[in-house]
A and B are shown apart, each in its own frame.
Chain A
Amino acid sequence: MENNNNKNNSKDEKNKIKEILSQIRLTRKNFGWWIFGVFVAILFVGFVRTWFNPEAHYFDPILGIINLILLPFGHTIDSLDFRMEDILYGLASGAQLTFIVSMVSLIVGFFFALILAVILVNKSHLYGLKLIAQSYVDFFRSTPLLVQVLLVYYGFAESMGDVIRSLNIPMFSYEVFAGILALALNTAAYQAEIIRGGILAIPTGQTEAARALGLTSGQTMRYVILPQAIRIIVPPLTNELINVLLNSSLISAIGVRDLTKKSQSLQARFSLWEVFLISAVFYFVIAFSLSKITKRLEVKLRIPGLGVVND
């Protein structure tokens, strides 16, 4: 009897492994995910390498692979075009900064937006706080981002410039600080509107039920409204994520050496317009993979039994 059970168990396990294997086996359906996964893994290896060897560049492994592809044709990147290595390294370090800046400003902006949205959906006036929040959102949604970037850059120069410089953090200059701040302030306004829409989309019955059970208004917001609102706002937030990433090119105007600035300077150096084409590929890879990942997140967060399954 026991033996039988054991056999059954091991069979089950085998089936399970088979099932998992069939999911991750390289097929037509998940071909893209494989390429993407390998790409991320290689980038990760590069990052880890830079910790042990400060001389190395995280982009080295990618360049190695490109060289490997070219090997059958009897070439390396360098032997095809001597400027290519400079361009790729330059753009890669710019892409790194662009990615970090946009992620940091997105996350900072999200928490700021959360506060704004909670103020905005509040029914009472909160001693003028609501008016201030509403004017903030209106201002940042009705002025161009480039102007905001310049405003923040020159506006905080006197008060923050020396403070940031005295911190002496590599890569974190006053320009980067101003760029992150401007992007965060801008995206906070847009995200606040998104979150507000998400909160308002939750039926009032949920609040009533939570309050009737004795939850405080803060607890209701935290445990009942926001978790449901988050699921509603993930698709528009994905949009905003891509927006921030692509809009971050505007901070090149204040001298942050991001992907756009790098491609401009490399173009000027080699008088080679194709640099912009390659930098577009860099932007595309980052933005496209981000949108794929967040799509995955969307599916993960979906509440069972609700909404339409469309994939």
Chain B
Amino acid sequence: MKNNKLLVGIIICAFFIPLISFSQFATAAEDTSLSDVLAAGEIVIGVDAAYPPFEQINAATDAVEGFDPSIMAFIAEDMGVDIVWNDVAWDTIFTSLAIGSYDCVMSAVTITTDRMVEMNFTRWYYFSTQAVMVTTANPKNITVIEDVDDASIKVGIQAATTSQWYLEDEEYAADMVSFATITLAIEALEAGTVDVVLGDLATLAAGQSANPGDFEIVDNFSPEAFGIACPGGSTALVDRMNEAIDKLLGTDPYNPEFSTYYNETHELWMGNEVAVDLDQLKEALDSLIVEESRPTISGASIFSLIAVIPVTIYSIIRKLKKRK
């Protein structure tokens, strides 16, 4: 008798798990993202301000500055709202976005198909590639990204970035060391605890120019477009921001026409002129188009179903046996 109650309890619990995970689909009712922002008169943005030249903290004024804030300033002005920067750690930035801690994340976020499942992205506002940076001495003689496929090589990356997914997807044998910020990874490269650092080209270039003569960027790989990430379902806000970005980059994403403001901003923070390889851009943007809509109900619901099936079968067998 007692056992039976326990069993029933387990089954009920097992059925609850998918319910929890299905509930997030039920709430996709009304999109108030834009009206909320306009009503408040300010847009709250999550940022990990340790990623020069995209975003960093100004030592004197304590304000967030960099390429991203400059672009955002243009967008906010276009929308007629103020900006509130929220400086948070990178590895939990999207979790906080999902629970509504800020309206969007603008922190050099690469647009990926994985992220597009849970989030809404604006059109791209910056295009670049990832890069491989080594010390000028280069003791392991790394010249292309494929050289990393070697268990004796230590690769420094920032945790939970596209560099990490790239390494894992390619299943490179390298010993991956993840750091909380890219600056820590570059410091580790200088100290010799890692042999090579992977990251966004502009960031590594900034690290290189901060330590002149120490580092060398040897290879580019994985072209990537950056966008502003909003919580899933906030289409109105995304559309409004896209309007503003169109004014900066032109309406055709495959063939950008850079405005003066964009060019100036780029020069100011990156230290060079805008140069986008249109073939690479097309490749990157095409990879983001998923033909068939990919199936997603959250993983736990499947797994709990798998748990439910044996328990149910077991309890049915028991019931039948007891009848006998």
Contacts and interface: CB of A to CB of B under 8 A. Distances in A.
B94 A83 contact: no
Contacts of A82: 294-296
A170 B151 contact: yes
Interface string A137-167: 0000000000000000000000001000100
A269 B295 contact: no
Interface in A65-121: 66, 69-70, 77, 79-84, 87, 90
Interface of A is mostly: helix
Contacts of A269: 114, 160, 164-165
B306 A275 contact: no
A274 B299 contact: yes
Contacts, number: 88
Contacts of A257: 176
B314 A165 contact: no
B235 interface: no
Contact of A275 (B299, B307, B318): B299
A31 interface: yes
Contacts of A274: 21, 298-301, 303
A264 interface: yes
Contact of B299 (A83, A265, A268): A83
A265 B17 contact: no
A35 B17 contact: no
Given A173-B175, A274-B21, A268 B302 contact: no
Contacts of A28: 317-318, 321
Nearest to A161: B193
A21 interface: no
A168 interface: yes
* Size category of the binding interface on chain A: 35 or more
Contacts of A35: 310
Contacts of B303: 274, 277-278, 281
Interface in B88-121: 91-92, 94-95, 98, 114-115, 117-119
A69 B176 CA distance: 36
Given A168-B151, A265-B164, A269-B160, A278 B299 contact: yes
Contact of A268 (B154, B159, B173, B314): B159
Contact of A265 (B159, B298, B309): B159
A24 to B, nearest CB: 18
A40 interface: no
B159 A80 contact: no
Interface string A265-306: 101111111110110010000000000000000000000000
Interface in B267-318: 294-303, 306-307, 309-310, 314, 317-318
Interface string A157-192: 000010001001010010100000000000000000
A81 B309 contact: no
B299 A84 contact: yes
Given A77-B302, A269-B160, A277 B17 contact: yes
A175 B193 CA distance: 12
Interface in A24-67: 28, 31, 35, 66
B10 interface: no
B142 interface: no
Contacts of A77: 302
A165 B152 contact: yes
Nearest to B310: A35
A50 to B, nearest CB: 14
Interface string B127-161: 00000000000000000000000011010000110
A236 interface: no
A165 B310 CA distance: 45
A79 B293 CA distance: 11
Interface in B226-281: none
B33 interface: no
Contact of A81 (B91, B92, B164, B298): B298
B160 A81 contact: no
Nearest to B119: A271
A221 to B, nearest CB: 43
Contacts of B175: 165, 173
Contacts of B115: 271
Contacts of B309: 69
Given A83-B296, A265-B160, A271 B98 contact: yes
A82 B92 CA distance: 23
Contacts of A264: 91
Interface of B: 17, 21, 91-92, 94-95, 98, 114-115, 117-119, 151-152, 154, 159-160, 164-165, 168, 173, 175-178, 193, 294-303, 306-307, 309-310, 314, 317-318, 321
13 contacts: A81-B297, A82-B296, A161-B193, A165-B152, A168-B152, A268-B91, A268-B92, A268-B94, A270-B117, A271-B118, A274-B299, A277-B300, A277-B303
Given A82-B295, A272-B118, A274-B303, 17 more contacts: A80-B302, A81-B295, A81-B299, A83-B117, A84-B302, A87-B299, A255-B177, A265-B164, A265-B178, A267-B95, A268-B94, A268-B159, A269-B114, A270-B117, A272-B298, A274-B299, A274-B300
A-B pairs, 9 with minimum CB distance:
A274-B300, A268-B160, A271-B118, A82-B294, A271-B94, A277-B300, A173-B175, A274-B298, A274-B299
